[in-house]
Amino acid sequence: MNAFFMHHLMPNTAYLILENGTVFEGKSLGAHGEIAGEIVFTTGMTGYLETLTDPSYYGQIILQTFPLIGNYGIIPSDFESCSVAAKGYIVKHPCQHPSNFRSEGDLDTFLRERGIVGLSGIDTRALTKIIRENGVMNGKITPTPPTDADLAEARSHTIRNAVAAVSARTVVKSENSNATRRRIALMDFGAKRGIVNALESRGCEVWTFPHDASAQEIMQTKPNGIMLSNGPGDPADIGNKGIIETIKVLQKEGLPIFGICLGHQFLALANGYSTRKLKFGHRGVNQPVKELATGGVYITSQNHGYEVIAEDSSFVNVNDGTCEGLEYGNSFSVQFHPEACGGPFDTAFLFDRFTARIDKLPHSA
């Protein structure tokens, strides 16, 4: 058996085929197998644990542009959820021997134990450039040289029922010993733990509701404010129509509403705005955003592939001018993540703005 043939049968060899036919050869990372998904890149140098456990990546293959990933190991207390919603993971150099006093394992083992198929050792810079130039595209990771069937599978991949797949199944009440008079109803579309943590640290009692909870079910708990979480997928998907109708009903209650990421998009759709897919999305921890009312510029963490089309934004993306926030009287929403546990923390004050609006209401006094 010649060396070339043996090389291509090595168990640690893996391939990525893009829907445009481009093939990358690298090494298997995590679980051994094959998966197809939408490839999206994120630019964070740190925060890979928060990225991997963010439900908003449901059905996608995450590409880390920073080449060294896994250096500080696996730290469960940093997770944003208890599972990995992404389908695959691509890095240049995964660290096999992390160094951190909080670490409880390494990246490869973490992915393998959760059945997440990964790929390492490819030119991630070249792959990122392809996506930036051509737009987000599907791909397939496979342990064998790609065939026409693999290419067809990559091209036909679609993400369906994303919100339903990651939302809570039952109503959950937080156990916050520091809770004051504020009770927040959190509609879970794929909520990160950081949102609950940010609210609880400000003395809020948080009730988490499944995505399909009715306005009546939510209002029965007598909330003082409504939180609309982040989440995956196309906000205008027909499967989300019920959510948007529920938000319309909740708005009529007059309570402050705060939407983040997908929650921002749902609130916009409920108020007559429209959305559209971005060429390659905003994902990373270095997105500059300007608040038009103050002129202040903040560095933000973002993870979204769709934008709200609006002429009256409260925040705009400094790089491309897209809408990053909207105001609706005593309610508001932002496209970025003020709760980002991996940082930056520039916009954490928005949770204080939310609670301040709740405290101004007569029944909150």
Confidence of residue 3 (pLDDT cuts 50, 70, 90): very low
Residue 139 has pLDDT above 70, yes or no: yes
Q: Which residues pair with 107 in a beta bridge?
A: none
pLDDT at residue 363 in the model: 62
Weakest-pLDDT range from 2-11, 56-65, 115-124: 2-11
The dihedral region occupied by 47, where left means phi > 0, alpha psi between -120 and 50, and beta the remainder, is: left
53 within a domain of the structure (yes/no): yes
User: Active-site residue among 50, 200, 291, 339?
Assistant: 339
Question: CA distances (Å), 303 to each of 223, 233, 247, 260, in order?
Answer: 28, 11, 22, 11
Angle at 198 between CA 196 and CA 199, to 5 degrees: 65
* Residues 49, 104 share a domain: yes
2 located within any domain: no
pLDDT digit string (tens) for 325-357? 999 999 999 999 999 988 899 999 999 999 999
Q: How confident is the model at residue 361 (pLDDT cuts 50, 70, 90)?
A: confident
Task: Say how far apart CA 44 and CA 23 lie, in whole Å.
Answer: 25
pLDDT tens figures, 69-114: 999 999 999 999 999 999 999 999 999 999 999 999 999 999 999 9
CA 71 to CA 69: how far, in whole Å? 6
Q: Which two tokens stand for residue 139?
A: 């791909």
Question: 155 and 167, same structural domain?
Answer: no
The closest of 233, 320, 336, 321 to 283, measured between CA atoms, is: 336
The pLDDT of residue 43 is above 50: yes
From 261, 264, 304, 307, the catalytic residue:
261
Last residue in a domain, options 131, 159, 187: 159
- The reported pLDDT for the residue numbered 1 is 39
| Residues 75 and 26 grouped into a single domain | yes
Pair (178, 93) in one structural domain:
no
Domain of 121, CATH number, reads: 3.50.30.20
**7 belongs to the catalytic site:** no
Is 118 in the same domain as 222? no
Q: Is 175 a residue of the active site?
A: no
4 located within any domain = no
Q: Tell me what pLDDT residue 8 has.
A: 44
Is 143 within the bounds of a domain?
A: yes
CA dihedral 122, 124, 129, 132 (to 10 degrees): 120
- Structural domain ending residue among the three candidates 128, 159, 190: 159
The reply to whether 128 falls in a domain is yes
Out of 211, 264, 282, 337, which one is annotated catalytic?
337
Q: Is residue 169 part of a domain?
A: yes
pTM equals 0.93
Residue 66: Cβ-neighbour burial (10 angstroms; 0-12, 13-18, 19+): middle
Q: Are residues 243 and 103 in the same domain?
A: no
Residue 283 per-residue DSSP state: E
**Residue percentage of the chain with pLDDT more than 90:** 92
**Domain contains 60:** yes
Domain count of the chain?
A: 2
Pair 147, 213 in one domain: no
Examine the domain organization and report whether 48 and 154 are in the same domain: yes
76: domain range?
10-159
Residue 45 has pLDDT above 60, yes or no: yes
Tell me the CA end-to-end span of the chain in Å, nearest whole number.
Answer: 80
Q: What is the average pLDDT value for the chain, to the nearest integer?
A: 94
User: 302 and 193, same structural domain?
Assistant: yes
| 219 and 310 inside one domain | yes
Q: Using one digit for the tens of pLDDT, what is the confidence trace for 289-318?
A: 999 999 999 999 999 999 999 999 999 999
Does residue 198 share a domain with residue 50? no
Q: Averaged over 278-288, what is the pLDDT?
A: 95
Q: How far apart are CA 22 and CA 151, in angstroms?
A: 10
Last residue of one domain, picked from the residues 102, 126, 159:
159
Residues 270, 307 share a domain:
yes
pLDDT at 261 over 80: yes
Write down the pLDDT at residue 178: 72
Q: Is residue 255 part of a domain?
A: yes
We report the CATH number of the domain holding residue 296 as 3.40.50.880
Tokens 């906000």 found at = 235
